Structure 1
Amino acid sequence: MKVSELGEFGLIELLAKVVGAKKEPKSAAWKQVLVGIGDDTAAWQGDGCVQLATTDSLVQDTHFDLKYTRWEDLGWKAIAVNLSDIAAMGGVPKYAMVSLALPGEMDADYVVCLYQGMGEIANKFDVAIVGGNIASADKVNITVSLIGSLEGKTPLLRSATCPGDLVAITGYTGMAAAGLRMLKRKLKLDPKSSELLSAAHLKPMPRVKEGQTLLKLGVKAAIDISDGLIADLAHVCKASKVSATINKDLVPVHPVLKTHFPGDCEQMALAGGEDYELLFTASNRVIAKVKQSLSCPVAVIGEVTKGTPGEMKVVDDAGRILDWQNKGWEHFKSG
């Protein structure tokens, strides 16, 4: 079977079986592992604290287009997407390693600008860039690995939701998808809207403090929205062996999307990726505490239910079940 037939998530499941296959003798390190393949980060019991690790790659012409992406913004985003994974576990980011694959004819000044962008966001979140690797390639490939820690014994997990929990999100979704469309199609919007949407796609702000607050207030399950709201909630439900129902009329749509993309704003909010907001589930009581504690908007958009693991239903205010085909981004399958 080809990788394109398996898709990103099918391939991950296959490799998880290979890595987790029973071997004798099994490494003693496995005894310390709390979370392996299948969540936003790995987690293991370190000396005195739980440690977290994640890695993400940005590949030229797959994740970014140099026609409209500044090198400083690309550096920012390369760190930001990893910070968002740590945020989804409720962790504290600490150390980053950066591996670059670059064309030999590339101007070294561009690499300096790339690292200036990385340094800007690393300083903002008190992260140290401590090393990495450089190799040659036909296109730019940036891979960042980030190490963090946890103030507590158990991180936020995709596998920790249960029927009856409410589904909530921070902020607005669909903004990055709108920004991408604006940039690719060279749409001319008013300066304020253009700046807002450009930043959403090119320079996202990970919800690190918000993730830590969720953990402290008793939230158990969370994920960052990178593949799209529906797709990422499906990941949570599949890991927790539950289903969920989303009310599309409760999903907050930013006024800028309603103004400039009136026909597509709902699709962007439900299926657009790379927003790096946090999606989480909890009781009504816990979510009420979260709303009081966070300065960003928090919206309850649905409920976790019993049913086929990973199954999603999208309804409207009238309770009608909608036929929703666009589930979100998946490498090797998404165009």
Structure 2
Amino acid sequence: MPSGKFSSITTDAFVENVHFSLQYFSFSDIGAKSLSAAISDIAAIGGIPSVAVLSLFIREGIKKSEINELYKSVKETAKKYWVNIVGGDIVKAEELAIVFTIVGEIDKSNITLRSGAQVGDIIFVTGNLGGAYTGRLVLERGLEINAFGFQDIAKKHLRPEARVDESQKLIKNLKINSMIDISDGLSTDLLHIAEESRVSVQIEASRIPISEETKRAASLFKLGPIETALRSGEEYELLFTVSPKETEKIKQLDLKIPVTPIGKITSKEEKNVIIFPDGTKKPLIPTGYVHIA
């Protein structure tokens, strides 16, 4: 490892009927999403992914052509993010699953952890939220995606983007105090930052970026858009905090996607809250994915 660099490593599992369903996932989708999700972990700490190994668990009924389709998608996704697949294993199992281990590198001066948020920091998020959750509902219910105009949220669930380029632009141009990718949901991942930084968070409901497509889908399923955005996991957007003096620099970056301030970091003695447009304050509780109930 070159001087001034750290190695970064992550592992991520993608399991049938936990993370995906063959009712609406193609094997190509499985390959793309499983690798992108693992790469997102490296992006979230400011790293650049370099190599990957995978373990593929195959159950009865899976065809060789389907395995080939999955592998082809993995190779295409790896090429997109400049990642080399350097090895792996394949095993017969009771469930279909794919597990990636990704190794990357990061400048020691650029490492961004979830534990560095400072009182007074402004909380930012990339992209729009809620699409992954509503996209899953659309797919589970077998709605006609094109007829309803739900192409973007379906894609958000099936083939999310890892924000590697965006992460690099942010850390090279700003002093990022803390960062995490939204894999468990906005509310849950905000509280991860709060807990590990020993601070509290205050966010404004009206500032949470939600696309019109997500709002339409939420309405169709009789869900509130804010509650949907708070719970929606597998978004893989970047959630980060910077000091107020850094905020003007964000406007000058050409990230190609929205970057929205949604709140601020407060002292540990204060409560984690979400403020609604009428001024009502409610406790911010984790409503996203629970790994172990």
TM-score surpassing 0.5?
yes
- TM interval, shorter chain, is over 0.9
1:69 aligns with 2:25: yes
The equivalent residue for 2:65 is 109
1:300 aligns with 2:261: yes
Asked whether the 8 Å contact 2:205–2:274 carries over to 1, the reply is yes
1:202 aligns with 2:158: yes
The equivalent residue for 2:47 is 91
RMSD across aligned positions (CA): 1.7
Letter in 2 for 1:133: D
Letter in 1 for 2:12: D
Match of 2:280 among 320, 328, 333: 320
Task: State the SS of the aligned residue for 2:115.
Answer: helix
Letter in 2 for 1:68: Y
Letter in 2 for 1:157: L
What stretches of structure 1 move > 6 A for 4+ residues in a row? none
Alpha-carbon distance, 1:195 to partner = 1.8
The equivalent residue for 2:16 is 60
**How far apart are the structure 2 equivalents of 1:223 and 1:132?**
27
Q: What is the percentage of aligned positions where both structures have the same residue?
A: 34
Asked whether the 8 Å contact 2:52–2:102 carries over to 1, the reply is yes
Q: Which has the higher contact order (CA 8 A, sep 6+)?
A: 2
Alpha-carbon distance, 1:136 to partner = 1.5
Alpha-carbon distance, 1:76 to partner = 0.3
The equivalent residue for 2:232 is 272
Letter in 2 for 1:58: F
**What is the number of equivalent residue pairs in this alignment?**
287
Deviations 1:246-270 (A, max 9, x none): 1111101101122232343221111
Asked whether the 8 Å contact 1:90–1:213 carries over to 2, the reply is no
Structure 1 segments unaligned to the other structure (5+ residues): 1-45
Q: TM-score, normalised by structure 2?
A: 0.93
Match of 2:96 among 140, 151, 160: 140
1:285 aligns with 2:245: yes
**How far apart are the structure 1 equivalents of 2:31 and 2:273?**
37
Letter in 1 for 2:77: I
The equivalent residue for 1:220 is 177
Which has the larger displacement, 252-261 or 192-201? 192-201
The equivalent residue for 1:10 is none
Match of 1:153 among 106, 109, 116: 109
Q: TM-score, normalised by structure 1?
A: 0.82
Asked whether the 8 Å contact 2:124–2:261 carries over to 1, the reply is yes
Asked whether the 8 Å contact 1:241–1:308 carries over to 2, the reply is no
